[in-house]
Structure 1
Amino acid sequence: MLLEATGVGRTVELPDGPPLTILSGVDLTVHEGDRLSIVGRSGSGKSTLLNLLGLMDSPTAGELRFLGHDTRALRGSTRDRLRGREIGFVFQQFNLLPGRTALENVQTPLLYSNGREFWRREQIAREILDLVGLGDRLHTRPERLSGGEQQRVAIARALVRRPRLILADEPTGALDLETGGSVMGLIEEVAGQTDAALVTITHDPAIASRSTRHFRLESGRLVPSDAGVGVGGPVGVDVGGVGTDAGVSV
């Protein structure tokens, strides 16, 4: 088993009110090769769940195990190394380094590797850029690339270390329908080559329907869902009026 969440919850303390529970009682298992989608409206806790699954935050209740490790017991440096080695993130916003070429952007995660992977970082980056169809755009900077090409660079960067878990957060939200479908197909293809698990967090039923297991967030709880179900219904946690000073991101 790659990842297992049992009764996971996330509560944050507010400076001028009672604690805010964002997630509660989340149970989820993820095996290698899984294809999962999680749908939820804005404010339902998708970002918070992504942070937990991606080892960027720790639950305040329950247990989250990744590759057999209890994530709450991991030291910060160990958590960072595990995340960098085994988890890849694909976001709606491309977050590419401005002024750096596609090749330089994709090499970035390999700067934190060692041994053969470190010394072969340029060749490895070239190979995955070729895989995503950008072998002829290696030395092009982000501002000279189309939206779809920028997302392909972001995908290559996320997958260059061949992670075992891929977390895609609204990966097609900034793309048109046709390009979005192509990008999802690409993520699925690359994930399939290494039998990586793919968890897609989205509000788009069409994107969600591409997965084989489907969930939705309702009132901070993760429940099974039929493929293609829309995001109507309960909004989930209402965080209206909570300022950024409270440190809340859902």
Structure 2
Amino acid sequence: MPAALVTGASRGIGRGIARRFAADGYDVAVNYRSSDAAAQNVVDTIETETDQRARAIQADVGDPDAVESCVEETVDAFGSLDHVVNNAGINEHQYTPELSPEEFQRLLDVNVTGTFAVTKAALPYLEDSSVDEGPSVINLSSRLAHAGADYEPHYASSKAGIIALTKSHALEFGPTIRVNAIAPGFIETDMTDATTSEESKAQKRQEVIPVGRLGTPEDIGQAAAYLRDAGFVTGETLNVNGGQRMQ
């Protein structure tokens, strides 16, 4: 049975991707940093809704030793690792005058170095994969990687770095492993609920999103499933934003 590791999968976008992969016939490692109950809920949901196995695995992707253990536990649980989705990340709304170098570095350590570390740890197992569509890595970037953000320059910078890392790894790992990225637009999650008012969300729907609604974690799960199976696509960034930013 093919297996996938989804980091930061206890809620939001990660949860949506984990559920989609399980619905498509993959065993799923549900990585999380601190939300034990939420991660177990994702596992229980997957095992109730599908015939697939799921395992909650605690690891901070900013800790290289924890990353190694997470990947090894995934392989021990399922016998293989065929796809990796690097979704784990942190975000803080801070302007440059308020932002310390240590805070800037911590966000880069989790968002960029964490993505690199998980991919590196998974590499030997992905190279051994025999799935028909071929193994892949999918990295979560953001529309802000293209647009920038005056209120979170460290976050936008990290997401731009993920796109560069995606292209570099696609070049390095081909033709064995495909590497792509998703750049979500405004997606309704716990994180956006905590930082965005209903008035602001309504304004985005009406004024800046041509399809007229906010995105959902299921929308990103659908995009991840496409990139997982798209055997002639690598090094690309799929913008999933309802037309909010067209290129």
Is this a same-fold pair by TM over 0.5?
no
- Structure with a larger share of its residues in strand: 1
**TM-score under structure 2 normalisation?**
0.33
- Structure with a larger share of its residues in helix: 2
Structure index of larger Rg: 1
